Amino acid sequence: QKWQTAESNLIYFIVCGISYAKSCGKSADDFGDWAGKVAAPSWRETKKKGVRGLVEGIARNKQQFQSFEIEILFESTMSVQARIKGFGEDLVRQRPRQEITVDDYIRFFDKKWVAIANYMGLDYKQHVEDDWVIFSVTEKN
């Protein structure tokens, strides 16, 4: 029950942030970029680990969700491609009275990880396929 409450509270704060951004004429993308830039300095030590460090950090960050899954699809010293699901999307779907969509929620995280990756000297890209978010992290040229 504590775990479910914690998940629900986290979703609530992300949804509130996106909703507030929208009420100010901004977007989920803007809120994600802001959140990533606020968080980026706490990734200082992880920065030394390169692409693997960011992917491990994303996996650690999502462990708060009971249904979280991650699969590594490709890995080299310069690039990692993985897929994730179960990081709160279903909880967002269960909030039908709000004006925040699952797409907003996923875009929030996209821009959050892009901002953190930029801080780390990396590129982050993602897209959605079925229930999965497929993402890649690569060293910047």
**pTM: predicted TM-score of the whole model, two decimal places:** 0.93
Which residue, among 134, 14, 126, has the nearest Cα to 85 in the 3D structure?
134
Please tell me the predicted confidence (pLDDT) of residue 8.
87
DSSP 82-106: EEEE-SSHHHHHT-TTSS--HHHHH
pLDDT tens digits in sequence order for the chain, 141 residues long: 888 888 888 999 999 999 999 999 999 999 999 999 999 999 999 999 999 999 999 999 999 899 999 999 999 999 999 999 999 998 888 876 668 999 999 999 999 999 999 999 999 999 999 999 999 999 997
Q: What is the 3-state secondary structure (H, E, C) of 29-57?
A: HHHHHHHHHHHHHHHCCHHHHHHHHHHHH
